[in-house]
A and B are shown apart, each in its own frame.
Chain A
Amino acid sequence: MSDHEDADVAAPGGRGVDMAAGLCLAALSLFALLWLIPNHTQPADSQFDVAPGFFPNLAAGTVLLFSLVLLARRWRQAPSGGGGRQVIIEIAAWSALGVAIMLALSALGFLVMAPVVIAGAMLFSGNRTWWLIAAMAIVFPLAVEGAAWVIFTVDLP
Chain B
Amino acid sequence: MNLPAATDAPPDPAVAEFEAIYRANVAGITAFFARRCGEPQAVADLTSETFVQAIGSLGSFDPRRGSARAWLFGIARHVYASHCARAANGNHAIAALAGHRELEHDEIEELASRIDDQLAGRELLARVSRLPEIERVALELVELAGLAPREAARALDVSPAALRVRLFRARTRLRKEEEPS
Q: Do chains A and B interact in one complex?
A: no
Q: CB within 8 Å of A: which residues of B?
A: none
Q: CB within 8 Å of B: which residues of A?
A: none
